Amino acid sequence: MASPEIHAKCGASNAYRYLACTASPTFEAQFPASTRIYAEEGTLALSICELFVKPHSDADTMAKELRSLQQHKLYQPEMLTCAKIYCDWIMEKALGYTNPPAIMTEQQVDFSDVVPEGFGTCDCVMIGDDALNIFDYKHGKGVRVDAVGNPQMRLYALGALAKYRPLYGDTIKKVRMTIIQPRISADPSEDEMSVDNLLAWGDRVHPIAVEAFNGPGTFVPGEHCKFCRGKAKCRARANVNTALEDFASCVPMGRVPADEPKDNASRMAMGLQKALTDSEIGQLLTRGQFLVSWYDDLKAYAQQTILDGGEIRGWKVVAGRSVRAFHDTDAAFQTLIKAGYDEAMLYDRKPVSLSELEKRLGKKKFAELLADQIDRPMGKPTLVDESDKREPYNSAAADFGGVNANVRRWRPYYHQLLSRR
């Protein structure tokens, strides 16, 4: 989360993209970079995190700095909770060492031996015993970022190793990389590898990074396109997605008669086109999800282009559905009260959500008081690709969980009925 890295053609944060698609740095350079409010929020949240980790001369100084950060227009009380989780995790790791480790925040690192002109900033570096630890704070809550095999973390680790190995020598034998993303989970994602394996990885990706830096590179569309500035205008991505037409021969044209046989053997015997196999369905689902993502990107680009005064042939932007609202709710309610209406009809009293209550109480106090009163039924079945880390859906377990939930829900009333007999 380093500001200098914004200007690096091939930095650490976009490594997952240019190591897969070496054409991306040169291609997206022609499109303007947008300042995302989420990035600004993340920078503010990280600044608060650092206050709790780095040493201060006295408590008053820290309090003054915190008050200053809380004046920021994007400050949210949730950031303090996130900072505590971040600090607690780092301190827990520090206490696990034989001797107190060295802890450094906001450390500039240079990994240009692997990526030309590559540099960035580690949120926190910890060195103790035989390990180098890299901590990275993520404030986003949309997508969980995994530390395992993460090229950004590995490049940071290589930069930190180059910076501190001259001081610590061969005492550093392994590297641990941790991503802390408290708005998604209080449990960080961790990865560990030996120094030798990390250096070997750096050697393997070096020629790929050089190709990406020098350009023009090779276009390879995929999941890594998500945050590319040129994703909507990439011809290679369009070619891959429109290649779904290759399956046209598998799909019957026109309406299928109701009496047409459904099994492939009967269809083939009658000279009819065979139905899609389950294997083909799987392939279409995999390719289709990229098609949907690509189409959404095209729509977003087209809408912004038209709003900026441009033209997309055959398309226009219109006003969406509008929702009525009082321009002054208090004044409107006072009008009704003066007209003789009961104030009680103007407000709904309803309990706050479980998540909101947990946020107000704090995770620890919430669990201490209410852990045994919470049901967590299995979620609705959702189709995902096989790379998803969740366990496959178990319909029997879901049914049993529903029964248990009903038993817990009705138990108090059951006891009341028994007491009346």
Q: Which of 112-116, 345-349, 395-399 has the highest mean pLDDT?
A: 112-116
Lowest mean pLDDT among 244-248, 279-283, 405-409: 405-409
Question: 126 phi and psi, to 5 degrees?
Answer: -130, 130
pLDDT band, very low/low/confident/very high, at 155 (cuts 50, 70, 90) = very high
3-state secondary structure 329-363: HHHHHHHHHHCCCCHHHHCCCCCCCHHHHHHHHCH
- 291's enclosing H/E stretch is helix 278-307
339-354 per-position pLDDT tens digit = 999 888 888 888 888 8
Rg (CA), the chain: 28
Please enumerate in sequence order all residues whose Cβ is within 8 A of that of 374, keeping only pairs 6 or more positions apart, or say none: 354
Fold adopted by 4-222: Lambda Exonuclease; Chain A (3.90.320)
Residue 257 falls in which region: left (phi positive, over 0), alpha (psi -120 to 50) or beta? beta
CA dihedral defined by 351, 141, 321, 289, rounded to 10 degrees?
-130
Residue 410 confidence (pLDDT)? 44
Mean pLDDT, rounded, for 180-191:
90
Does residue 196 register a pLDDT over 60? Answer: yes
78-113 per-position pLDDT tens digit = 999 899 899 989 998 998 888 899 999 999 999 999
Residue 329 confidence (pLDDT)? 92
| Strand ranges across the sheet with 102-110 | 102-110, 119-128, 131-137, 174-180, 189-194
| CATH 3.90.320-classified regions of the chain | 4-222
Residue 264 confidence (pLDDT)? 56
CA distances, 19 to each of 33, 77, 114, 213, 415 (Å): 20, 37, 12, 10, 63
pLDDT band, very low/low/confident/very high, at 187 (cuts 50, 70, 90) = confident
CA distances, 95 to each of 72, 176, 177, 199, 351 (Å): 33, 16, 17, 28, 41
Mean pLDDT, rounded, for 401-410:
48
The Cα–Cα gap between 136 and 179 comes to 5
Across 2-62, where does the E strand assignment appear? none
User: For tokens 């809550």, what's the residue?
Assistant: 141
Q: Which of residues 395 and 145 earns the better pLDDT score?
A: 145
The Cα–Cα gap between 146 and 413 comes to 45
Written as six digits, the tokens of 146 are 């995994």
Residue 375 confidence (pLDDT)? 84
Mean pLDDT, rounded, for 26-40:
82
Residue 421 confidence (pLDDT)? 45
Closest alpha carbon to 388 in 396, 397, 379, 375: 379
Lowest mean pLDDT among 130-134, 159-163, 408-412: 408-412
The Cα–Cα gap between 86 and 105 comes to 12
Please enumerate in sequence order all residues whose Cβ is within 8 A of that of 66, keeping only pairs 6 or more positions apart, or say none: 48, 51
- 155's enclosing H/E stretch is helix 151-168
Residue 401 confidence (pLDDT)? 52
Q: How many helices (H) and strands (E) does the chain have?
A: 14, 5
Lowest mean pLDDT among 148-162, 193-207, 214-228, 241-255: 241-255
Mean pLDDT, rounded, for 223-238:
89
